[in-house]
Amino acid sequence: MKVFLTGGSGFVGGALVHRLLAEGHEVLALARSSSSVQRVRAAGADAVPGDLAELGRPGSPAWLARLREADAVVHVAAHMEFWGPDALFEQANHVPALALHAASVEAGVRRFVLISAASVSTGSQRRPVVDESTPEGRPNIAYSRVKLATERALVKAPGGDTELVVLRPPFVWGRGMTTIDEMAEVAEAGRFAWIDHGRHVVDFVHVENLATAAVLALTRGRHRGVYYVTDGTPMPLRDFLTPLLATRGVDLSRSRSVPLAIAAPIAATMDRTARLLRRKTAPPLTNWLVSFTGRDRSYDITAARRELGYSPDMSVEKGLAEMASSGTTRPM
């Protein structure tokens, strides 16, 4: 199968390039910079110079001709931040996703796989365990609100002969992850604190398991099907984050703890004040951070197992051992 991929030079996209090639697929990876072109070529993919933003400009970008070669599209590329106005993410993520889907339909692509986010249900939805039938509520960060709006718009969009599958991964981890650098910096500066001693349950997915799900979604899953995808091993935050940061030599054993009853109102005040003042950077404690670290949340992946044939083969133990032995840099 020939797969057109966005975000191929990034953390998730890079893992997907390797998996697709290993399974005998051809990969056309859209690359908007010379460095991205070099990375995807080094990985063995066919680099397609271009930018999704070109879809909103007059005329047809040259790279659309390559889209017509593809059997399937996997849309990974996205601007991801935990702070910022909705308008920023609408322009950076929502508009390009809809335009790419429309172009894929026009090109006769058979499958369009959107990598969304499990955080579309993080916010007013407080249930400890959710699945695809659980109402999402209102997400509490713009990135997630816009991801949810994109999902809903694509489900309603004219699809022609192009089938749509949406994957919702939670926190993505593994060798090559960049978010660990930020967490390590916070911890080493003494600014890290648990909520309720890190006892609340969190869920996550190793990047290789997410790549597995994306490859399966090329041929499996219902048209307009939405699937949560995790490692299938939710656990208390402390049990996951402590060994994860230990792979970077960071010790969390002496980190302080704040009760949720204190953290939640402080976060609400900081969050609201920063938004009213239109601050460009997030305050130290936000509503989203409290939702992620201070409340139990896991995702039922029964639908992904049943309809995609998904099985998370990369275990937490194996993933941590890989990071500890080889660092966080993925060879490309």
DSSP per-residue letters across 80-132: --SS--HHHHIIIIIHHHHHHHHHHHHHT-SEEEEE--GGGG-BS---SEE-T
Q: Domain span at residue 75?
A: 2-177+203-232+298-326
Q: How many CA atoms lie within 13 A of 10 on its CB side?
A: 20
Does some domain include residue 104? yes
Contact 162, 154 (CB under 8 A): no
Using 50, 70 and 90 to split pLDDT, how confident is the model at 7? very high
Q: Taking 80 as the threshold, does the pLDDT of residue 39 lie above it?
A: yes
CA separation for the pair 94, 154 (Å, rounded): 10
Q: Is residue 266 part of a domain?
A: no
- In the predicted structure, residue 323 carries a pLDDT above the cut 80: yes
Say what the alpha-carbon torsion angle 198, 203, 209, 213 is, to the nearest 10 degrees: -170
Average pLDDT score over the chain: 95
Residue 17 lies in a domain: yes
Residue 120 covered by a domain = yes
CA–CA separation, 132 and 19 (whole Å): 26
The CB density around residue 156, as the number of other CB atoms within 10 Å, is 9
Asked whether residue 290 is domain-assigned, the answer is no
Residue 47 pLDDT > 90:
yes
Mean pLDDT of the region 49-57 = 91
Mean pLDDT of 186-191: 92
- Alpha-carbon radius of gyration of the chain: 20
Q: Point out the least confidently predicted range of 51-55, 112-116, 327-331.
A: 327-331
Say how many C-beta atoms besides its own lie within 10 A of residue 256's C-beta: 9
Give bridge partners of residue 73 from the DSSP assignment.
Answer: 4, 112
pLDDT at 327: 55
Whether 196 is in a domain gets the answer no
Nearest by Cα to 72 from 4, 26, 15: 4
Backbone angles phi, psi at 59, to 5 degrees: 85, 165
- With contact defined as beta carbons under 8 Å apart, do 131 and 228 qualify? yes
Write down the pLDDT at residue 5.
Answer: 98
pLDDT higher than 80, residue 328: no
What is the CATH number for 153? 3.40.50.720
As a whole number of angstroms, the distance between CA 48 and CA 18 comes to: 17
> How far apart are the two ends of the chain, measured CA to CA in Å?
22
The three-class DSSP label of residue 283 is coil
Q: How many domains does the chain have?
A: 1
pLDDT computed for residue 267 by the predictor: 97
Predicted model pTM: 0.96
In this structure, are residues 77 and 99 in contact, taking their beta carbons and an 8 Å threshold? Answer: no
Report the 10 Å Cβ neighbour count for 191.
Answer: 10
Angstrom distance (rounded) from CA 313 to CA 319:
10
Tens-digit pLDDT profile for residues 197-248: 999 999 999 999 999 999 999 999 999 999 999 999 999 999 999 999 999 9
Taking a C-beta distance cutoff of 8 angstroms, is the pair 61, 124 a contact?
no
Band the pLDDT of 58: cuts 50, 70, 90: confident
- Distance, CA of 199 to CA of 130 (rounded, Å): 19
Count the neighbouring beta carbons within 10 Å of the beta carbon of residue 57: 9
Task: Please say whether the beta carbons of 11 and 176 come within 8 A.
Answer: yes
Closest CA to 19 of 206, 211, 220: 211
Q: Strand 225-228 vs strand 193-195: parallel, antiparallel, or unpaired?
A: unpaired
> Is 24 a residue whose pLDDT tops 70?
yes
pLDDT at 331 over 70: no
In a domain, 111, yes or no: yes
In whole angstroms, give the CA distance from residue 1 to residue 18.
14
Position 242 in a domain: no
220 contact partners, CB below 8 Å, separation of at least 6: 307, 308, 309
Indicate the range of 85-89, 188-192, 326-330 predicted with least confidence. 326-330
